[in-house]
Structure 1
């Protein structure tokens, strides 16, 4: 199976799925040890064995904990977890995605799926057919199959009568999707709870089926006393990450409210926050782009973020980066990479600042025997109101999704990227107006 997105989010598929012009070198992958969840004042309290239900704090509350694994392909990191479906349980390793809302696995009826783990509905005494099919149209591929209900096993917790798709048809010509499909048994979508998710379509002409998505089914029956999801990604291919549902937590010192404007953009149905400023504090003139964007949080592996074309080009110009047809992002001389200024992102009504240094927003690629350095901020021409935050942001910060209070909390892993609880003073003169929602300030 492959990355499965909403139809409106198909353009968020990593550009590397269709272009293989370079790969990340080992130099660009941070060397960090696995995160160990422990009792502190600044992030969720979770104890217990990874992959099992653990006690969270002194209340005896149970949290469902899944282990996350990372596999790199062409230098791009992809995240996976293990679950089981049916009675008796049939195990699967699933690709994890934050923008897709459903759960999809291979079916034993899939003749094009090769020798993979596949779901056999006849072997599960608890499986029920929903008497209709789904059809997902992807970037160069189509996945189709039966809609089913069965028990879903997450560690030691079980979700009864969970909705999922069992693909029996998979065809297309996208080589990267085929390769990613070869690395997993399906996909687990962790998009925000939605009672009428359009993750599954029953065909182009018949329109969208209305199904509760995975997170809605997880939080609705009361399986989780606290409606939270904690995500700590594995930082290297050998490390182990953690996905925790229902974690009790003590207050984090960095909260960002989820955006209330998603219905106005193409990123509706995703975890998204408001992005108000992009600042580069270079010398002698700082750069500030005052924007009004809705930023989706994703696990797209090949960029730190995407920005509307004119904003990205203004950043390239400031940093001395150039557009190259063979590489995404802006290409810079490798000898100046370490001299680039800090990048400050202001979220949540401009009252929270996230500061990244040059290692956090640049990457080293290899093309043949040549090293190429790029600013991993990609251009998007299809939407001028939205931004997309990629997986590399989560290499520096763990994130807590708080569904009770419609907010996300960040916890920094090391001092290279840092959190500023108060907004920095911004230049207020010398502005040059670019597009309608973008103001660039260069001040002395």
Structure 2
């Protein structure tokens, strides 16, 4: 599908590799609370994050349900001369879209908007589609233009120009749009994706990319996306490889799950996990959530699944069996602390894989522990302990 073969070498950054710094945005909850909005306002935005992996006709299900907590984004330019946008580099979708001057809703007006009349290289189309969310739809019309990321210049890149965006939660988000990095099978048919164009226009030295998320992110530095290679200084130890089991999303097998030393039977018949940089929380199959919360001593509240902050060091480490090894996720990674409030950073999905396996979403909470490498030629995901 990707048209290139790869013998992966762990190379430092060099020619054909691009480092994109990521910023860590404030959470939507932080912004809303500053504006004095009630907790019930936040609860109305909740939905099933697994819904975005259900494909259907001209409707593309995109991430955002989990951005109520936090998000990471970097800068790109679109058009000639470039108009700059902050976008999420998202392995859970495959389309690029940004707000546009076609959109007059408050959510668009509060963000950078693409003005096609100011670009000498813009080509319009009459193709439109819908991004469907648990709390509303975003209508988009497609166009083609030059996309610039530092020294990379992509010609004739398809992207979506928003026509309308619901104010909740888009008005409160610190990023403008989304740049999808999943497989072409979940993109709008007939238009090359961002990754396909990178490879077809010989912009990368190797057909792979990698992510590093800082464990102590700030707005100015939340991590990095590296296009075309890996950075040996951002991880330690060997890379553990897991093959992709379905070339739509970056979906891998999870062979087992353990709470401390107690191995559960939840994945005895196999589970699937989607490695998704566009999701913040760890999303678990809904049927397992009550048992997990009980084992962790967490109680549901308006703030999330509360735990006593003083008990966090004694809470169990979670283990995922992936690629024949157990990958630990310590409580310091899966418990979120906001002032004096500690919550378990999990949510549930009642959507299973197409083949029936329980579905997990390995979001940023997991990926802050593990440097992740997305090998497009060999269809596999690599994990190594993040620096």
Normalised by the shorter chain, which TM-score bucket? Answer: 0.7 to 0.9
Aligned pairs (5 A) from 1:126-145: 126-145=121-140
Q: 2:23 aligns with which of 52, 69, 73?
A: 69
Question: Unpaired segments of 5 or more residues in structure 1?
Answer: 1-41, 47-55, 201-208, 263-267, 415-444
In 1: Cα distance, 2:176 partner to 2:346 partner: 31
Q: 1:359 aligns with which of 332, 338, 341?
A: 332
Aligned to 2:78: 85
- Decide whether aligned partners of structure 1 residues 161 and 411 sit closer, same or farther in structure 2, where only a CA change above 3 A counts: same
In 2: Cα distance, 1:319 partner to 1:184 partner: 33
Q: 2:319 aligns with which of 344, 349, 355?
A: 344
Which of the pair is proportionally richer in helix? 2
1:289 maps onto 2:268 in alignment:
no
Count of residues in correspondence between the two structures? 327
Contact 2:139 2:165 in 1 (8 A): no
State the Cα distance separating 1:82 from its structure 2 match: 1.0
Contact 2:208 2:228 in 1 (8 A): yes
Q: TM-score if structure 2 supplies the norm length? A: 0.76
Aligned to 1:378: 347
Aligned to 1:434: none
In 2: Cα distance, 1:389 partner to 1:259 partner: 14
- Decide whether aligned partners of structure 1 residues 314 and 184 sit closer, same or farther in structure 2, where only a CA change above 3 A counts: closer
Question: Unpaired segments of 5 or more residues in structure 2?
Answer: 1-8, 31-68
In 2: Cα distance, 1:255 partner to 1:221 partner: 30
State the Cα distance separating 1:177 from its structure 2 match: 3.0
State the Cα distance separating 1:327 from its structure 2 match: 4.7
In 1: Cα distance, 2:223 partner to 2:310 partner: 33
Q: Which deviates more from structure 2 when the two are superposed, residues 331-340 or residues 104-113?
A: 331-340
Aligned to 1:430: none
* SS of residue in 2 equivalent to 1:289: coil
State the Cα distance separating 1:71 from its structure 2 match: 1.1
Aligned to 1:257: 242
Aligned to 2:258: 279
- Decide whether aligned partners of structure 1 residues 333 and 66 sit closer, same or farther in structure 2, where only a CA change above 3 A counts: closer
1:393 maps onto 2:378 in alignment:
no
Q: Which has more radius of gyration?
A: 1
In 1: Cα distance, 2:95 partner to 2:211 partner: 18
Aligned to 1:185: 176
In 2: Cα distance, 1:116 partner to 1:377 partner: 29
In 2: Cα distance, 1:342 partner to 1:115 partner: 41
In 2: Cα distance, 1:179 partner to 1:372 partner: 22
Q: 2:221 aligns with which of 228, 239, 247?
A: 239
State the Cα distance separating 1:108 from its structure 2 match: 2.0
1:326 maps onto 2:302 in alignment:
yes
Contact 2:92 2:181 in 1 (8 A): yes
- Decide whether aligned partners of structure 1 residues 87 and 114 sit closer, same or farther in structure 2, where only a CA change above 3 A counts: same
Structure with greater contact order relative to length (CA < 8 Å, sep ≥ 6): 2
Cα deviation, 1:169-215, whole Å, max 9, x if unaligned, reads: 2143x6223311xx2332212223x1x544x4xxxxxxxx5433222
Q: 2:201 aligns with which of 214, 221, 224?
A: 221
Contact 2:209 2:230 in 1 (8 A): no
In 1: Cα distance, 2:150 partner to 2:121 partner: 18
In 2: Cα distance, 1:247 partner to 1:129 partner: 33
In 2: Cα distance, 1:220 partner to 1:252 partner: 33
State the Cα distance separating 1:244 from its structure 2 match: 1.5
- Decide whether aligned partners of structure 1 residues 252 and 166 sit closer, same or farther in structure 2, where only a CA change above 3 A counts: farther
Contact 2:131 2:140 in 1 (8 A): no
Contact 1:363 1:374 in 2 (8 A): yes
- Decide whether aligned partners of structure 1 residues 311 and 220 sit closer, same or farther in structure 2, where only a CA change above 3 A counts: same
Cα deviation, 1:305-350, whole Å, max 9, x if unaligned, reads: 222223232223333334x253544x434443221222211112xx
In 2: Cα distance, 1:117 partner to 1:294 partner: 37
- Decide whether aligned partners of structure 1 residues 302 and 160 sit closer, same or farther in structure 2, where only a CA change above 3 A counts: closer
Q: 2:291 aligns with which of 314, 329, 332?
A: 314
- Decide whether aligned partners of structure 1 residues 122 and 379 sit closer, same or farther in structure 2, where only a CA change above 3 A counts: closer
In 1: Cα distance, 2:325 partner to 2:21 partner: 30
Contact 1:308 1:385 in 2 (8 A): yes
Q: TM-score if structure 1 supplies the norm length? A: 0.67
